[in-house]
Structure 1
Amino acid sequence: MTGSRLKVALIGASGLLGRAVANELADVAGWQVVRTARSRVGPQIVKLDIRDDAAISGFIAREAPDAIVVAAAERRPDVCENDPALARALNVDALRSIARAARERGAWVLSISTDYVFDGTKPPYFPDDPPSPLNAYGRSKLEGERALIDSGAKACVLRLPLLYGPVLDWNESAVTSLTPAIVESAKSGAAPATMDAWATRYPTFTPDVAVVIRQMIERHARGETIGGITQWSGDEPMTKFDIAERIARVLKVDARLVAQRTPTDSTPRPRDCHLDSSVLEALGIGRRTPFDTAIAQVLANYPRARTRETQ
């Protein structure tokens, strides 16, 4: 492997983050990127169900990648709470299978994790702070982290917070999913839209995360592989109520918003899981687009994206 000749397997290329990473890596001269997805396949995307251990082993043996980026997971906390077996299959068992096949190949694995491995009571959180997840999603992602790190493969975990970016479906992100209710609230006779004003989030733009991932892969290509736990986060704290106000401003709608100042989710969620990004920053890795700039780009085509349930 050299920096100019590198093969990357991007597992989960059709999702919100996967698409951004695919776009970013496509522009790197000399890199070959093999993209996979479970259902949203196409001419340039290989069908792969990460719950199928034999399929994973066959794919990695056949493609022989130098690096593997795992962007596939079950990310919906309510789904994980109601179907822990599915959460485990996608967030733990699949990662263990990928790690085993990668170890045999000698490939480096970069897997995406979450700020929800923390309970949100003592931010900011550093990579070596003790995790304490509050819900099944956080527990499954933490178990997946440990399965990867303990596998013996060359591996790195990248924890991320709330993501948003260019969408095919407004429900792909908990940021853009607010938009239909915000717009509806501005209509004559419509009820106000209630927005959470209890939990502080750090929305992070997927094209920025894609730059971070590219820079991490570049270090691997130079023989400066990053291992263990790493983190990246946007640096603008805001509640969903704050986000909604900004979205309304971008769309120039007179939204009627009500702040909900107590938690109402049936699945427990942490209040503030701000991730410290200083380890990657010290390596010269990172990019942050201001939220107002990024969300204006994302909403430029509203309402043409779909509003169906995310698959």
Structure 2
Amino acid sequence: MTQGFRVALIGASGLLGRAVAGELADVASWQVVRTAHSRGDAQSVKLDIRDDTAVHAFIEHEKPDAIVVAAAERRPDICENDPGLARALNVDALCSIARAARALNSWVLSISTDYVFDGTAPPYFPADPPSPLNAYGRSKFEGERALLDSGANACVLRLPLLYGPVLDWSESAVTSLTPAIVKSSGAGAEPALMDAWATRYPTFTPDVAVVIRQMTERHARGEAITGITQWSGDEPMTKFDIAEHIARVLRVEARLVAQTTPADSTPRPRDCHLNSGALETLGIGRRTRFDTAIAQVLANYPDPQAPSQ
């Protein structure tokens, strides 16, 4: 790799950003600068991506060869109730980043979602027409278009449901199930109702971090990937299935009840399986089996920040 290759990781403090930060830090020849909004530390530059002036000043100062954008508003219910916030973080911020990147010819890799599809005709390929069902999916699709239409050297990476090492169990829709699962195993406890309608493809953030590092390495070699790409785990599961796996890992006798009809107030797609073939053809990718990965994540339950034994 070229000595002095510079990467700006925007949104390094979130679930995916932390995994990407750790993976990129292992590339000795790269200089990686991280940004964070609310969880900044000594290793991160504080940056509000909604501030166009601050975004341009940061990128002009750092002059990165590559920009990985992991910051976003990705909670569907929040997006539904506050579409202005969703647009500011998922669309307008990308426009700012793209304009600054284009001036330096920096490569931009932005994270998107399987929720750009309506979930009626899986598997979905990168060229399939999006048809989002909710404000989150719409904002991410608009962000994709804004970035790719900006003239910047850019790539979109669509991902499905993510899980990985967390700071608290609510940080991922996978680990957020755990307290209810454990509680349902108590004497006299009510059963835990778990969605058994929508099929998900839980994807381990350290695996995604490897994918992003491999994609960035190609750019560093002068073989940048552009346009839309996708990566996904390959184990289909409902939340009910996920809950059963978690109960087995924790060795609790959970009482689980399958909810076989949609129950969320915000509409969600039934099955948005993303085809990952384009990246696989390039030799890019890594998948850790769900049982192996979730056992690592839950090793410190109930305190996710406790040191491993």
Shift of 1:247: 0.1
Q: Which residue of 1 aligns with 2:34?
A: 35
Q: Which residue of 2 aligns with 1:309?
A: none
Mapped partners of 1:43, 1:82: distance in 2: 34
> Tell me, what secondary structure is at the counterpart of 1:215?
helix
Residue by residue, what CA displacement relative to the aligned partner does 1:210-259 show, whole Å, maximum 9, x if unpaired? 00000000000000000000000000000000000000000000000000
Counterpart code for 2:139: S
> Tell me, what secondary structure is at the counterpart of 2:9?
strand
Q: Which residue of 2 aligns with 1:175?
A: 174
Shift of 1:29: 1.3
Confirm or deny: 8 A CA contact 1:3 1:218 kept in the other structure. Answer: no
Within a 5 Å distance, the mapping from 1:105-184 to structure 2 comes to 105-184=104-183
> Tell me, what secondary structure is at the counterpart of 2:237?
coil
Q: Which residue of 2 aligns with 1:198?
A: 197
Q: Which residue of 2 aligns with 1:211?
A: 210
Q: Which residue of 2 aligns with 1:244?
A: 243
Residue by residue, what CA displacement relative to the aligned partner does 1:139-167 show, whole Å, maximum 9, x if unpaired? 00000000000000000000000000000
* Identity over aligned pairs, percent: 82
In the alignment, structure 1 residue 73 sits paired with structure 2 residue 67: no
TM-score by length of 1: 0.97
Mapped partners of 1:125, 1:194: distance in 2: 29
Mapped partners of 1:6, 1:189: distance in 2: 59
> Tell me, what secondary structure is at the counterpart of 2:154?
strand
> Tell me, what secondary structure is at the counterpart of 2:165?
coil
Counterpart code for 2:6: K
Mapped partners of 1:218, 1:27: distance in 2: 12
Mapped partners of 1:165, 1:200: distance in 2: 19
Mapped partners of 1:233, 1:207: distance in 2: 12
> Tell me, what secondary structure is at the counterpart of 1:8?
strand
Counterpart code for 1:228: G
> Tell me, what secondary structure is at the counterpart of 1:194?
strand
Q: Which residue of 2 aligns with 1:254?
A: 253
> Tell me, what secondary structure is at the counterpart of 1:159?
strand
Shift of 1:305: 2.7
TM-score by length of 2: 0.98
Counterpart code for 2:174: V
Mapped partners of 1:23, 1:54: distance in 2: 28
Aligned length: 305
In the alignment, structure 1 residue 13 sits paired with structure 2 residue 48: no
> Tell me, what secondary structure is at the counterpart of 2:93?
helix
Mapped partners of 1:176, 1:6: distance in 2: 35
Counterpart code for 2:255: R
Confirm or deny: 8 A CA contact 1:202 1:234 kept in the other structure. Answer: yes
Shift of 1:51: 0.2
Q: Which residue of 2 aligns with 1:93?
A: 92
Shift of 1:35: 0.3
> Tell me, what secondary structure is at the counterpart of 1:58?
helix
Shift of 1:106: 1.0
> Tell me, what secondary structure is at the counterpart of 1:157?
strand
Mapped partners of 1:303, 1:266: distance in 2: 28
Q: Which residue of 1 aligns with 2:61?
A: 62
Shift of 1:105: 1.2
Mapped partners of 2:74, 2:66: distance in 1: 23
Mapped partners of 2:112, 2:227: distance in 1: 12
In the alignment, structure 1 residue 230 sits paired with structure 2 residue 221: no
Mapped partners of 2:3, 2:278: distance in 1: 26
> Tell me, what secondary structure is at the counterpart of 1:297?
helix
Residue by residue, what CA displacement relative to the aligned partner does 1:109-151 show, whole Å, maximum 9, x if unpaired? 0000000000000000000000000000000000000000000
Counterpart code for 1:45: S
Structure 2 residue runs of 5 or longer lacking an equivalent are none
Confirm or deny: 8 A CA contact 2:109 2:155 kept in the other structure. Answer: yes
